[in-house]
Amino acid sequence: QVQLVESGGGLVQPGGSLRLSCVATGDNLGYYTVGWFHQAPGKEREGVSCISKNSDSWHYAESVKGRFTISRDYAKNAVYLEMNNLEPEDTAVYSCAASAYVSDVRHVCVHTGVIDVWGQGTQVTVSS
C-alpha cells in the first residue's frame, strides 16, 4: 500500500507563492490518480486539483484555475502543487490523496469516496 507524505506548507502573505510536495513510498505513485484536497476550519474537504496517472489530464477547482499548477515527477515518485497569487481564502490544511482504480481526474477530485489513501496534511496559512 502506498504511503503519502506532504511538505511545503507554511505562512505566506497574500500574493505570495508556495510549492507543496507529496512524496510516495511503498508503491509506484504512477499507478494512481493523485489529487490535492484542502479543508478550512468549519468547512468540508474539497478537491483542489487532480492529475491522471500518465499526466495527460488535469482537473482544477474554479477557485484556483490560473493560480495553481499540479505536476508529477516520476523519478522522485512525487506530485507537486505550485500555488501562486495566494489569497487568504486559500488558508486550509492541504492533503495529498491517491486513487488506484479511478482514472477520471474530475471524478477523483469531486468524489472523495474513491480515494484509497490519504496523506497527513500540511497547513497553508495566507495572512498579512
* Tens digit of each residue's pLDDT (9 = 90 or more) over 41-61: 999 999 999 999 999 999 999
Which three-class secondary structure state does DSSP give residue 63? helix
Which pLDDT value is given to residue 42? 93
| Cα–Cα distance, 55 to 113 (Å, whole number) | 22
Q: DSSP states of 89-118 as a string?
A: GG-EEEEEEEESS---HHHHHH-GGG--EE
Return the sign of the alpha-carbon dihedral for residues 67, 32, 21, 36.
positive
Contact 73, 80 (CB under 8 A): yes
Taking CA 61 as the corner, what is the angle to CA 14 and CA 97, rounded to the nearest 5 degrees?
Answer: 95
**25 CB neighbour count, 10 Å cutoff:** 10
pLDDT tens-digit profile of 13-50?
Answer: 999 999 999 999 999 999 999 999 999 999 999 999 99
For residue 1, is pLDDT > 90? no
